[in-house]
Structure 1
Amino acid sequence: MIDFATLEKGMDIGSTTIHVNRADLVRYAGASGDFNPIHWNERFATEVGLPGVIAHGMFTMGSAVQLVSNWVGNPGAVIDYQTRFTKPVPVADPAGSNPSEHAGTAVEISGAIGALDEEARTARVDLTVTLEGTKVLVKAQALVQF
């Protein structure tokens, strides 16, 4: 368990890489009900000006905050989370016959304490979420209550 008293602004909470493949997008579409063809149909996605099939924004957002949930050890401690979507996350067509074996698109996530509120016993965690060095989410901030 993390002791609030040991936290400092700028403290690193860790980093991770998530690999998103087309099978993940299919599963997320089923769970969320978002069957927009930009998330599964290459032809449609390119016809509307995208680089190809892209991950759902909410899938990317939800995957990123998992770093905070894992760090704090209690997903219920995350009392607020917000971000702005800046770039799509293209997800390449799998190379093999089994899409779930495709390593997928690598999204890098890191987090650091951006602010502390002693009175409310909260820490704001600022996330950096990138694809090939380019931020795909900005102002990604999770508020954690201790």
Structure 2
Amino acid sequence: MKRLQDFTVGDTFEAFREVDSYRPIYYAAASGDFNPIHIDPLVGRAAGYSGAILQGMCTFSWLSDACVAYLGDPARLRRIRARFTKPVQVGDVIRFQGRCVALEGPRIALELEATNQRGEEVLKGAVAEGHLGDG
């Protein structure tokens, strides 16, 4: 696991996730969110999309996962927030980018971005806070 001294302001990290056609169905089974716009491509098309769209909380969980991978331990992630700005559609590839913007003792602050393969933001104003110490 990374130690406190392994983190530096200016560090960057990224992760990629592709939305395969089964991802909204898998997430629906795990979360209970069976809204038809997520699992029925016809409903998604009727709503103006190319098909089913991914649940926003799945996108948010992928953002959290990118932070945890950087921090090295899920217990280190204390807060995370973001605004949903664009639906994620089946077939999209989401790029999560993060940057360490502050280190104050064991506290760490991250700025985050999430964009699709067209460079469009799917989450906006994303930030996270972590704690790198024992408590």
Same fold judged by TM-score > 0.5? yes
Residue 109 of structure 2: aligned partner: 124
1:32-51 equivalent positions in 2, closer than 5 A: 32-51=31-50
Q: Is residue 18 from structure 1 mapped to residue 3 from structure 2 by the alignment?
A: no
Residue from 115, 119, 129 that aligns with 2:102: 115
Residue 72 of structure 1: aligned partner: 71
- What's the offset of the Cα at 1:4? 2.6
Residue 29 of structure 1: aligned partner: 28
> Which aligned segments of 4 or more residues in structure 1 are displaced greater than 4 angstroms?
none
Q: Could you tell me how far apart the structure 2 residues matched to 1:76 and 1:34 are?
A: 26
Residue from 129, 132, 135 that aligns with 1:143: 129
Residue 87 of structure 1: aligned partner: 86
C-alpha contact (below 8 Å) 1:87/1:136 kept by paired residues: yes
C-alpha contact (below 8 Å) 2:19/2:89 kept by paired residues: no
Q: Which amino acid aligns with 2:124?
A: V
Q: Which amino acid aligns with 1:79?
A: R
**Cα RMSD after superposing both structures:** 1.6
C-alpha contact (below 8 Å) 1:22/1:40 kept by paired residues: no
C-alpha contact (below 8 Å) 2:14/2:98 kept by paired residues: yes
**Stretches of structure 1 lacking an aligned partner (at least 5 in a row):** 92-103
**Stretches of structure 2 lacking an aligned partner (at least 5 in a row):** none
Residue 2 of structure 1: aligned partner: 2
Residue from 103, 106, 109 that aligns with 2:93: 106
TM-score, normalising length: structure 2: 0.87
Q: Percent identity?
A: 31
Query: How many residues of Structure 1 are paired with residues of Structure 2 in the alignment?
Result: 131
TM-score, normalising length: structure 1: 0.81
Question: Which one has more relative contact order, counting CA pairs under 8 Å at least 6 apart?
Answer: 1
C-alpha contact (below 8 Å) 2:94/2:114 kept by paired residues: yes
Matched position secondary structure for 1:22? coil
Residue 55 of structure 2: aligned partner: 56
